[in-house]
A and B are shown apart, each in its own frame.
Chain A
Amino acid sequence: MNNFQRLEEEQARQYDAVKRQQVQNNLEHTFGLFKFIGQIVDVYLPAMIGVLISAAGGNSPDSRKTGINRPPSEGGDHPGRVGPHPPDGDPVRR
C-alpha cells in the first residue's frame, strides 16, 4: 500500500457512521420515489392512453374488449342480449 492509498483510507474514515447513514437514507428515499413513480406509470399509463384515443374518436383496445361503442345488434351495450339487425343489412355473423 502506498501513501496515496493510505491517504484514501484516512479520508474514507472521515465518512463516519452519521454521514454514511444520512446518505443511505436519502438514497433509499430517492429510489423508493422512483419505484413509486414507475408503478404509477405502469398502472395508469395504458388507461390514460385509452382515454386519449377515445377522446380523439378512435376505439381504444379496452373498449373493444368490453363492447363499448359497438351497436346493439352486435350485443355491444348489453352483452348477451342482441338487439334488432340493421334495417337493410344481413344479420351480423357472430
Chain B
Amino acid sequence: MKDLEVIHSYLDTQASRCFNLLYERYAGKIYSKCLSMLKDEVLAQDATQEIFTKIFLNLSRFGEKSKFSTWVYSITYNFCIDFLRRKKKQKDIFSDDMEKAPEPADDLSSDKALLEMEIGQLKAVLENIPAGDRAILLMKYQDGMSIKDIAEILDKTESAIKMKIKRAKAKAQETKKEMFQEPLS
C-alpha cells in the first residue's frame, strides 16, 4: 500500500492500522534524523514522539505538492532546528556560519570526498559541525532532496541554499582534517 493510499484511508476511517503502518515506515528514519541533529538518544526519542503527533494532527493539511516523505522530513528538520534555536536562544542557526565558514572547495571533488568518508568518521564529523550545516548536508545527501525542496523547507532562496551546501561541505572537510589527521609517513 502506497503512502498516499494509507493517508487517505486514515483520514476516512481513523483506523489504527493505518497509523501503525505509517509509524512503522517512518519511525526509524525520523529517530535517526533527530539523533543526528540533537545528538542525544533521549531527546531524539522525545522528538520522534512529538514529530509524529504533529504529523498526524496535520495530516489533512498535507497538500500532496511534494512527496509524503519530503513533507515528513521537513517537519522533522524544522522541529529539530526550532528546538536547537530555543536551546541556544539563537534566532537563526544558519545566520552565524556564513562569516566563519571557509571558502568553498571544488564542488565535485568535495562531493566525492564527503560521500566516500568512512561511516564512523562521517558520524564524528557531522557531530562536530554547526547544526545548520549538518541539517543541510543530511537533506542533500541522506534524503536526496532537491535544492528547491531544501529552499522551501528552510525558507531561503535557491542560490542561498547552493552557497550554504558548498560551505557546509567545506566545513565538513575541514573538520575531518582536524579530527583525523593522517600521521606523516
Contacts and interface: CB of A to CB of B under 8 A. Distances in A.
Given A3-B115, A4-B142, A8-B29, A23 B48 contact: yes
Contacts of B48: 15, 23
Q: How large, as a class, is the contact surface on chain A? A: 20 to 34
Contacts of A66: none
Given A23-B48, A27-B49, A31-B19, A3 B122 contact: yes
A4 B56 contact: no
Contacts of B117: 3
A33 to B, nearest CB: 11
A10 B49 contact: no
B147 interface: no
Contact of B142 (A7, A26, A30, A34): A7
A43 to B, nearest CB: 18
B53 A30 contact: yes
A24 interface: yes
Nearest to A28: B16
A39 B141 CA distance: 44
List the 10 closest A-B pairs by CB distance, nearest first.
A12-B28, A11-B32, A15-B31, A4-B142, A4-B141, A12-B32, A2-B115, A8-B32, A23-B49, A15-B28
7 contacts: A5-B142, A7-B142, A11-B35, A14-B35, A15-B48, A23-B52, A27-B52
